[in-house]
Structure formats: structure tokens, C-alpha cells
Amino acid sequence: MMKYNSLLFDWSGTLVDDLPPTLHATNAVLAEHQVAAMDREEFRNRFRLPYPEFYEEVLPGVAIEDLEDTFRAAFSQSPTGVTVLSHAREMLEWCEKEGVRCFVLSSMDVGLFTEQVRDFGLQHYFEAVYAGVIDKRERIGGILKSHGLEKDRTAFVGDMLHDVATARHGGIASVAVATGYDPRERLVKSEPTHLFEHLGDFREWMVGSFKREFRA
């Protein structure tokens, strides 16, 4: 028996690297309001989910709806595009082979997500997709219930504190990967159930857990 038979994946920073275009788009939004640009380190230290809280901090009083068009346009025009992270495709292929149910739960804009998952040819790996979710904690319970997922056999895989908090809120395991937005030291402090450098390490752990349980 495998430790987890169902996995919910975050998208940005977990399966794909979209930090460069996200930073580019964020700086375009800031420039539109005469606010100084951030470098990568400052952005990673300040950005958080739910993202309206981040924008309220850096652009107080500006409605999130007033930022979205600028963000989307700049994201699409970024000189550095989105790429699939190393080990992500292999992880999903392994899950498909082993019968692990896979889902996406992401704050990523629905339109941008739809383009990316189609362009990368990843859509068939997921049983269901929940994109454009501003606060994942508000959706996790309903997703678990609607798909009949066993809490003790399900984990949420993500790269940010919000993902760890979402898993905890849903009563499931959290798998943090240090490939995205939150620095590793911040992830450590959030005390996830598991912490891996990347999805390749998580896949190896999953294989090992299956072998250990089989021997037992």
C-alpha cells in the first residue's frame, strides 16, 4: 500500500517555474503606480498568499481588480517565459503509472493556467483542476469531500507557507518543495509534514514508502 494515493498539487513554483514572469508582471504593476521595482530576493521575501494581502501591503488602497489587466499583459510579455520544473513531468508520469490520483489547487489566474497546462501537455495527468482560487483554505475541504479523498492517504504538495497552511486546514499531510516562491528557511519554520528539495526527492520517497510497506 502506498503512503499517499491522492495528491493535490500547487502549480506555480511546484510544477512550473513562473517566478521570472511573475516578478516582471509585479514590477509592471508597481511602475504603473510609481512604486519602485523589486529584485528577485526582495520579492521572494515579501510575496505571500493570498496575493490580495501582498498587494494591499505594497499598493494600499488599490483594488485588486484594477491591477489584473496590467499584470496579465506584462506576464505574457515577460522576456523570460514559464518552464516546467525539473522532475515535475517525471513525477506526474510516475503517479499516472502507479494510479495515484492527481489534482491541481492553485491561485494562478484561470486564463494563464489554462494556456500553460495546454501548452505543456500536462492536462491529462489531472483528475480535476481548481485554478484562480485566492484562498485555498476555503476550498480544500470541499475538494476532499467532493472527490471522496481519504484524509490520511492524501497530501497537498506546494512551495509556499499558504500551501502548508491549506493542508493543515484540510486535515491532510503537507509536502513542501523548495523550488518556488518561499525560501527554504521559511518552509522549515512552517513545519510541513515533509520537506524536499524538489519533486524528484519526493518521488523517491514515495517509491521508498511503498517498498517499506510492502516488506512490512
Question: Alpha-carbon distance 25 to 153, whole Å?
Answer: 37
Question: Alpha-carbon distance 203 to 211, whole Å?
Answer: 13
For the chain, what is the mean pLDDT? 94
pLDDT the model gives residue 74: 95
Q: How many of the other CB atoms lie within 10 Å of CB of 145?
A: 10
Q: What is the mean pLDDT of the segment spanning 71-90?
A: 95
Nearest to 111 by CA among 66, 65, 163, 76: 76
Q: What is the pLDDT of residues 179-210, one digit of tens each?
A: 999 999 999 999 999 999 999 999 999 998 76
Question: Alpha-carbon distance 85 to 179, whole Å?
Answer: 8
Question: Alpha-carbon distance 164 to 192, whole Å?
Answer: 6
Q: Residue 161 CA to chain centroid, in angstroms? A: 10
- Contact present, 103 and 147 (Cβ < 8 Å): yes
pLDDT the model gives residue 2: 63
- The interaxial angle of helices 110-119 and 68-76, nearest 10 deg, is 20
Is the per-residue pLDDT at 1 higher than 90?
A: no
- Contact present, 5 and 153 (Cβ < 8 Å): yes
The kind and range of the H/E element at 139 are: helix 137-146
pLDDT the model gives residue 209: 72
Is the per-residue pLDDT at 211 higher than 90?
A: no
Q: What is the pLDDT of residues 97-143, one digit of tens each?
A: 999 999 999 999 999 999 999 999 999 999 999 999 999 999 999 99
- Given pLDDT bands bounded at 50, 70 and 90, which one contains residue 214? very low
Q: What is the mean pLDDT of the segment spanning 37-49?
A: 94
